[in-house]
């Protein structure tokens, strides 16, 4: 079998595994992980105390047992061993925080504004892969033991004990795969499969203790870290993949032990093992382009895999234009929702934050759904902290309507800012509470191994990070901007309704025939992303106010908070807590996604209008407010379709945009798959920041993609 034939067979198995996982788990409204189905009879029963699994001693006791119990996985068609099937952290989900560290005093306001406060959350920052690649598992074990001997503080003993046992558990898990590889090799008759099984066996024997020395060993080491970190707490942050692997690639090519076809197959296998988030290309500290032949090869490997994938290309003015075009061609022709694109100009606004140099901002890679992180140095809980700004808006509106005072746009904007300040204060206090206690609840046992200062100081990363930069995401910008535009247009300017009449229609959710007429009148107000409309004006005001409230908050050092706009996939959940809104949205309907406009905001030129409108509302501190695009360009490559998409991307980034999550789709295929998901079981979409098989999504999540879809450019 050729490498291409093997990858085709592995892709077919992945689709079959997805169907089997749906049978086991139901719909999967999250990342398409690299998991394979659990075997029949699998069971893990954690040991719990005080109702949960709390603290380093309890976590490592259970993680050790979990790793010993977890099934092994080797596929002879692959060249990398291992895959994960179950997650340790899911056994904590029913009770993630103990009652004896209570934050009940914060819960009323957290619930009032429908926040995701970040308390008890984990991962969502980036490990420094260079630490692990340099030391290997054996070197990491020696490092833990060395600093354990130096730091004899009894309080740190439990930390070092947990970290040492974590490494041993990982080494033991890898070692359990060796006999299975040997068994498969002994029974294999195909020479080409025998050859790669021998490679797999040698690589895995070597990297149990030694640092990776070859390209294959480096990829196998990364695959194991991706596997065991996912298994511990769902960590999905990768690295700058082309830069990290380049020395191994060049050395093996020079030594004559690696050719591009084999390298491509190895990388495709790495991407198959797990959908970790990796960055490609971009500028170095001085602005020099980092694109290399390996960058191209990684793109080709992803195309060879032809499945869900999370590669992000960082665009900048000096980048290799041929590589950028290759990346755009990939998303245009393959239509798998990748690669994504990030914009260096907007991301460099990160230097506006305290203590952030150009070097730090440039080394902050795209390694999550919408977020960046500085490997090994930053603790940020990205994508776990959110405020439902649509709910906040309605709290402000309701106060204006029932407070007995003035009813005007000035009063409404005053109240919105007031409630933003209260919500941000509530989030900030929760984050400080989290920082104080998280190491005693759920330490980052796996990621701590590859963070700077953790092992040296004997502290969890939540205690000792160089950078505590917490991103606070607003959700529902389009819903609120359009609501404010509708009030100004229909109530203040045109006087078609009074404030009291509007409120009455909101309270009864636009009941009856007249209610529907009122709703349509409000919904036809000048919308956000329409182009210099009232909606655009209010979106800009909201984002400027949002950024000002967050950045002016007196967060105690070393922590700081940073504004962004992103809802992840919580538009449905957030919408359920919000009554009818003045933009004509019904009670309980989903709010708008992140920084995106209301679906159907305009019929012509919508893609360009979105790129322009969302660039204009970036908060301006380097945390993304992504442009989420789903469209059928209705243009072939020969008709200039690739050029048009490339121009939209460049325009957005030149205006200060930070990230584009993009789906180039065939409308007919999408609609067929929505009617009958199994008619296109291989259809991959980028739902928010993550990719998933469309057939694996619930009807509600599939509808989110459908609602955002734009027909034509």
Closest CA to 479 of 341, 375, 574, 399: 574
pLDDT, tens only, 660-699: 999 999 999 999 999 999 999 999 999 888 999 999 999 9
Lookup result for tokens 């980036």: 126
476 and 389 in contact (C-beta within 8 Å)? yes
Query: Residue 164: what pLDDT?
Result: 99
Residue 313's SS3 state is strand
Closest CA to 278 of 356, 338, 201: 338
571 and 389 in contact (C-beta within 8 Å)? no
**Using 50, 70 and 90 to split pLDDT, how confident is the model at 713?**
low
Q: Copy the structure tokens of residue 141.
A: 């074990």
| The length of the chain, given as a count of residues | 713
Neighbours of 179 (CB within 10 A): 11
Q: Give the Å distances, CA to CA, from 369 to 36, 90, 587.
A: 22, 20, 28
* HSE, side-chain direction, 13 A CA sphere, residue 672: 11
Q: What gap in Å lies between CA 335 and CA 308, rounded to an integer?
A: 10
Neighbours of 259 (CB within 10 A): 10
Residue 563's SS3 state is strand
128 and 472 in contact (C-beta within 8 Å)? no
Handedness of CA 96, 471, 286, 377 (dihedral sign): negative
Which 3-state string (H, E, C) describes 78-115? CCCCCCCCCCCHHHHCCCCCCCCCCCCCCHHHHHHCCE
Lookup result for tokens 């920041």: 689
Q: Copy the structure tokens of residue 18.
A: 């997805």
pLDDT, tens only, 596-634: 999 989 878 899 999 999 999 999 999 999 999 988 888
pLDDT, tens only, 240-282: 999 999 999 999 999 999 999 999 999 999 999 999 999 999 9
670 and 705 in contact (C-beta within 8 Å)? yes
pLDDT, tens only, 47-83: 999 899 999 999 999 999 999 999 999 999 999 999 9
Is-cis flag, bond preceding 4, omega within 30?
Answer: no
Q: Is 541 exposed, middle or buried (0-12, 13-18, 19+ CB in 10 A)?
A: middle
Q: What gap in Å lies between CA 639 and CA 643, rounded to an integer?
A: 9
Q: What gap in Å lies between CA 193 and CA 370, rounded to an integer?
A: 39
The rounded percent of the chain whose pLDDT value lies above 70 is: 100
pLDDT higher than 90, residue 432: yes
Average pLDDT of the chain? 97
Q: Give the Å distances, CA to CA, from 69 to 42, 46, 86, 667, 700.
A: 9, 11, 10, 45, 35
Residue 235's SS3 state is coil
For residue 564, what are the β-bridge partners? 473
Query: Residue 692: what pLDDT?
Result: 93
């Amino acid at each position: 079998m050729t490498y291409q034939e093997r990858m085709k067979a592995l892709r077919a198995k992945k689709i079959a595994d997805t169907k089997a996982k749906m049978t086991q788990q139901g719909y999967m409204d999250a990342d398409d992980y690299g998991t394979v189905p659990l075997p029949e009879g699998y069971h893990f029963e954690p040991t719990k105390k005080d109702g949960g699994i709390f603290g380093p001693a309890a976590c490592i006791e259970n993680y050790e047992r979990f790793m010993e119990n977890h099934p092994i996985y080797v596929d002879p068609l692959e060249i990398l061993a291992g895959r994960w099937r179950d997650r340790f952290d899911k056994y904590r989900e029913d009770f993630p925080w103990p009652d004896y560290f209570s934050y009940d005093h914060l819960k009323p306001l957290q619930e009032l504004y429908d926040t995701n406060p970040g308390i008890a959350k984990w991962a969502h920052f980036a490990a420094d892969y260079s630490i692990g690649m340099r030391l290997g598992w054996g070197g990491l074990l020696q490092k833990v033991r060395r600093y354990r001997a130096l730091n004899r503080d009894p309080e740190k003993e439990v930390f070092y004990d947990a970290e040492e046992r974590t490494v041993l558990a990982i080494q033991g898990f890898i070692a359990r795969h060796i006999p299975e590889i040997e068994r498969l090799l002994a029974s294999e008759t195909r020479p080409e499969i025998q050859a790669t099984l021998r490679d797999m066996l040698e690589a895995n024997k070597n990297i149990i203790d030694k640092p990776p020395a070859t390209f294959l060993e480096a990829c196998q080491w990364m695959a194991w870290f991706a596997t065991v970190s996912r298994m511990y707490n769902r960590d999905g942050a990768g690295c700058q993949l082309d830069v990290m692997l380049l020395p191994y690639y060049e050395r093996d090519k020079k030594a004559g032990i690696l050719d591009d076809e084999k390298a491509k197959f190895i990388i495709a296998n790495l991407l198959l093992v797990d959908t970790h988030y990796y960055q490609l290309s971009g500028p170095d500290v001085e602005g020099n382009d980092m694109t290399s032949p390996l960058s191209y090869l990684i793109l080709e490997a992803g195309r060879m895999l032809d499945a869900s994938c999370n590669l992000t290309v960082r665009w900048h003015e000096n980048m290799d234009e041929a590589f950028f075009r290759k990346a755009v061609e990939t998303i245009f022709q393959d239509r798998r929702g990748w690669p994504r694109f990030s914009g260096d100009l907007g991301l460099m606004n990160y230097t506006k934050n305290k203590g952030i140099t150009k070097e730090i901002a440039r080394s902050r890679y795209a390694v999550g759904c919408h977020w960046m992180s500085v490997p090994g140095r930053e603790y940020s809980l990205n994508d776990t902290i959110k405020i439902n700004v649509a709910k906040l808006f309605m709290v402000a509106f309701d106060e204006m309507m029932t407070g007995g005072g003035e009813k005007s746009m000035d009063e409404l904007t005053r109240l919105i800012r007031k409630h933003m300040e209260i919500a941000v204060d509530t989030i900030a206090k929760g984050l400080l509470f989290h920082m104080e206690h998280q190491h005693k609840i759920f330490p980052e046992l796996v990621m701590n191994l590859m963070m700077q200062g953790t092992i040296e100081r004997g502290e969890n990363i939540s205690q000792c990070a160089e950078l505590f930069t917490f991103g606070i995401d607003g959700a529902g910008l389009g819903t609120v901007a359009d609501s404010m535009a509708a009030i100004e247009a229909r109530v203040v300017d045109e006087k078609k309704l009074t404030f009291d009449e509007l409120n009455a229609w909101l309270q009864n959710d636009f009941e009856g025939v007249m209610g529907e007429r009122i709703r349509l009148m409000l919904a036809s107000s000048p919308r956000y992303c329409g182009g210099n409309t009232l909606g655009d004006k209010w979106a800009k005001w909201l984002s400027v106010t949002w950024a000002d409230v967050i950045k002016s908050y007196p967060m105690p050092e070393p922590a700081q908070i940073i504004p962004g706009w992103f809802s992840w996939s919580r538009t449905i959940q957030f919408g359920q807590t919000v009554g009818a809104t003045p933009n004509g949205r019904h009670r309980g309907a989903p709010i708008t996604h992140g920084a995106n406009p209301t679906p159907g905001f305009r019929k012509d030129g919508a893609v360009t209008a979105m790129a322009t409108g969302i660039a204009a509302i970036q908060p301006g501190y380097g945390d993304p407010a992504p442009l989420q695009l789903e469209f059928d360009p209705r243009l072939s490559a020969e008709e200039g379709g690739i050029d048009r998409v490339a121009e939209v991307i460049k325009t957005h980034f030149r205006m200060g945009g930070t990230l584009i999550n993009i789906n180039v789709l065939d409308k007919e295929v999408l609609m067929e798959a929505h009617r009958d998901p199994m008619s296109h079981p291989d259809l991959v979409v980028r739902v928010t920041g993550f990719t998933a098989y469309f057939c694996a999504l619930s009807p509600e999540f599939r509808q989110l993609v459908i609602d955002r879809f734009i027909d034509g450019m």
